[in-house]
Amino acid sequence: MARSDSATAGRVVVTGGAGFLGSHLCTALVDRGAHVVALDNFLTGSPANVAHLMDSPRFRLQRCDVTDFVHVPGDVDLVLHFASPASPVDYLQLPIHTLKVGSIGTNHALGLAMEKGARFLLASTSEVYGDPLVHPQPESYWGNVNPVGPRGVYDEAKRYAEALTTAYRSAHGVDTAIVRIFNTYGPRMRPHDGRAIPTFVRQALAGEPLTVAGDGTQTRSVCYVDDLVRGILALADSGHPGPMNIGNPTELSVRRIAEDVVAATGSTSSIEYVERPVDDPQVRRPDTALAERELGWAPAVAWQEGLERTVEWFAGALARTA
């Protein structure tokens, strides 16, 4: 379902371009010859994540809060909307901003795409499925979300953003796509961002106990960031509107993830069990049949290999800040 022209080799705007996922997207786009404008307000992202791109004539970093105003001069072929707090620690501390970037920010990013005649891709999330009652989760599943729970600010922001993206497609003819991203890990995650893998790696490298929520039997399907980026860019270059799940269908218990982190770091850390957060999903695994069929995409980096790369990066990053 590939397009005759590659949007990802043209001029691309990446909102949230200095964040974890955004920075990896910017790197991959520059590597394939695209000219990239990264927009970020540095609330949860950092210029350090794209420092290696700053000398490239094909890359520009612009401080911008997409909830205020978005202006990019010149032609644009593709808008990748990745601006949003994405970890529970962040969106629980920034609930209103999270809702605003999902609503007002998405409206501004869609408006930019409409103005430029560009393809638009929304970074949605597996969180739209909530604590799922269907397993694994296909794109046809509507989800089980608590709109007034503590996670609702993120879940509902993304669900609204999906509805708004669909409305721009149907009402204004904007060429849109929606990707539903499942748990992702890799270099450039913040050690204190609150998600399981960076938390476990940080704790293990420091010789601290790994804090596993609940009894650790809840599951996650974790995808290495390079695989995720490859899937996102394939969707961007296709004519498919989505929603489309991109994630690794290999399911691991949170306890297994913690045990593997201890082994990969060579740590002597113990595992401690702490209270489980409200509305924490019991299971999470993508049905990736649509991505396999339409994009020919499947994850290629095995969990142990991706974990080793991640641990190596964290060890270096923490040593530099010590």
Separation of alpha carbons 226 and 24, rounded Å: 8
E strands along the chain, which residues?
11-15, 35-40, 59-63, 78-81, 119-125, 176-181, 184-185, 210-213, 219-220, 223-224, 244-246, 252-253, 271-274
User: C-alpha distances in angstroms, 30 versus 35, 38, 52, 136, 193?
Assistant: 6, 11, 11, 34, 27
User: C-alpha distances in angstroms, 227 versus 15, 202, 289?
Assistant: 20, 23, 16
Separation of alpha carbons 81 and 190, rounded Å: 20
Those residues whose C-beta lies under 8 Å from the C-beta of residue 158, and which sit 6 or more positions away, are: 84, 102, 124, 125, 127, 128
Separation of alpha carbons 139 and 137, rounded Å: 7
Q: Which helix (H) or strand (E) holds 111?
A: helix 106-116
Q: What is the DSSP string of 57-94?
A: TTEEEEE--TTT-----S--SEEEE--S--SHHHHHHS
Going by C-alpha positions, the residue among 207, 194, 202, 206 that lies closest to residue 274 is 194
Residue 302: how many CB atoms within 10 A of its CB? 12
In the annotation, is 154 catalytic?
yes
User: C-alpha distances in angstroms, 207 versus 60, 152, 304?
Assistant: 39, 34, 20
Catalytic residue among 154, 168, 185, 224: 154
Give the catalytic positions in this structure.
154
